[in-house]
Structure 1
């Protein structure tokens, strides 16, 4: 009986080895629908990234134009201040009298009229 028991025990061991060897690991495949969703997601991310970059470029361009405009305004303001100073220097009474005298004009009190406000 011991030989029968050994045979049964060996058969059980062989069955266990066969059952262990027959375990198949299956890889999960991506279905067509899932592949389409992944592609749509990739396209969406690419589109949004492109849109963000183009918006940043437009903002940069606008800021650059604003800075250039501010610089030209400041430069024109300086020019205007310089011209106002020149006008105030050139419109002094002494200069006007000197220019009038150079041109041969004389002050005649009979021709001067006083205007009151």
Structure 2
């Protein structure tokens, strides 16, 4: 008996129903960084992992393929992979790329966050 292959869910939905949103600045920066990788990755994984002083931290990494249980969100030709557990914590989150005189980096604006640590690298919900 043959079994059907499970494929990741691809989200082509309005921004309000996506597990995470990226600003145009974040999309451009991710694409710029991806273009320097060899081989060029299939997409960007955004997740939430345990750790830090407040309990959770955001994670970003490049991946060569989506996992079986991932949601795949498309931003233009950029694929973002989000696992089901992280999607619960990222719902409504917007990722931006910000450059100031002091620093440059990705900034997460998450309406579910109740508090952050003093260093700003971890959060609690």
Which has the larger Rg?
A: 1
Bin for the TM-score computed over the shorter chain: under 0.3
User: Which structure has the highest strand share of the two?
Assistant: 2
User: Which structure has the highest helix share of the two?
Assistant: 1
Comparing both chains, which one has the higher relative contact order based on Cα–Cα distances under 8 Å and sequence gaps of 6 or more? 2
